[in-house]
Amino acid sequence: MAVRVRFAPSPTGFLHVGGARTALFNWLFARRAGGTFLLRVEDTDRARSRPEHTQAILDGLAWLGLELDEGPAFQADGVERHRRDALSLLRQGAAYRCFCTAEELAARREEAKRVGSGYGYDGRCGRLDAAVSSARADAEEAFALRVRVPREAIEWEDMVHGPMSFPAGSIDDFIVLRSDGTPVYNLAVVSDDAEAAITHVIRGDDHLSNTPKQILLYRALGRTLPAFGHVPLILGPDGKRLSKRHGAMSVLAYREEGYLPQGMLNFLALMGWSPGDDREVFDVGGLTQAFSVDRVLKKSAVFDLEKLGWLNGRHIADAPAGDLAGAVVEILGREAREEGRDLAGTHPGLEISPERLARIIDLVKGRPRTLPALARQVSPFFAATVRYDDGAVKRFWKRPEETAFHLRHLAERLGGEAAFSDVERLESEVRGVAAELEVGAGRIINPLRVALMGQGVSPGIFEVLEAMGRERALARVRAAAGFLDARVATA
């Protein structure tokens, strides 16, 4: 049988980490098996469902690259089929009319609490004579439909947890159709999954208690039972269920924070799944080849924002510079607009130097963990003005008159066209200046780094010089010397 799986979120909020991981596991399972991945939007809660939430779910899946084979389908479109399925249960005797009102049920629940006994529906309406039940219905007395639960254990082989069993008597006769004619969740899900010929239901552990009821409904409706797999929940570092207070956000919020979809997918996959070896960094193709449900862990996963950052940094480092350039330009452009300026004013040459931008991204992309951090690493190479870090100035420019002299000498040495022919030549020229001035190379290199980048740390200084280019690099060296001359004059 061809594999068919579904992701079935409710459009009552955005696509969050837990839902995205469920979608990913279903998608990987389908791709590995050559099967079909579909989306069903469970929108029967009209009071809380919002079109913008549906769109956010679609946008989140699209950003992650989890393309749909079918859908989206909408659960609300199947309401009449849900009712027909419920009434078929009544006709065959698998369900019965329940005339108990909400007030009566609440009173029984309170009485059970008062005497200290557990409350469960006692099946009294299921014992009504069929003629009496029909007569009351004909008299337009309101009723719900309840399924008769057989007094036997309900068992299945879970794809994640292995053998599962709910003992006889642990489930009361449950409602499948409310007195207002609306179907309940479990009936709608079974009806929809059967209609879509879903073969495997992979979802969170929070649905475990629904599964025995749904198995009963599949059997009563005479539908083919799918395989069930329940993925452990994601917890925060404090061991409690994941929430916003742990840093968990909408998937699209992580996009806005500067995470790559590849990094997010990698992170989601490793929350509750292991490849069985020491590998941690996967691209989508690698995940598809390695994924199997039997490697999904039985214990809850812990949300680790530090791990997400590390993985995202690895994906930034591995990405071609051309794939990152657009995001860098967009981020720096947005920052310029926030300052009331344009990108050409804050970072001249950035947009018209794609080759130089690519070289600079390749030079700095090994350390940043997010795209804004990458943009901050790129920014000094193109910035119209250099802001000198106070700490770097105090440490490496503490002899301003001498440092200014060294920088001017260096600018003269690097002024020829040949000096910037390659990194090796640049290194030779800089070290040659140190030798001529009879100082250690660090007395030239560290002040030069501050002059070029405004800070005391950077990639290799000779690579920085080559990537920045002759004109801009010399202008910065001379500007730094002028800055130091002014300090000496005002001291």
Q: Is 70 helix (H, G, I), strand (E, B) or coil?
A: strand
Q: Is the peptide bond before 372 cis (omega within 30 degrees of 0)?
A: no
Residue 226 and residue 199 in contact, taking contact as beta carbons nearer than 8 Å = yes
Residue 225 and residue 219 in contact, taking contact as beta carbons nearer than 8 Å = yes
In whole angstroms, what is the distance from residue 27 CA to residue 155 CA? 27
Please say if 244 is a catalytic residue.
yes
Q: Are strands 70-74 and 36-41 parallel, antiparallel or unpaired?
A: parallel
Q: Is 416 helix (H, G, I), strand (E, B) or coil?
A: coil
H-type helices in 74-178, by residue range?
A: 79-91, 102-115, 130-138
Look up residue 57 and give its amino acid.
Answer: I
How many angstroms separate the Cα of 55 from the Cα of each of 11, 49, 210, 265? 9, 11, 27, 20
Given 240, 244, 394, 398, the catalytic residue? 244
Provide the β-strand partners of residue 147: 95, 174
In whole angstroms, what is the distance from residue 58 CA to residue 193 CA? 20
Q: Is 325 helix (H, G, I), strand (E, B) or coil?
A: helix
Residue 235 and residue 205 in contact, taking contact as beta carbons nearer than 8 Å = no
Residues designated as active site: 244
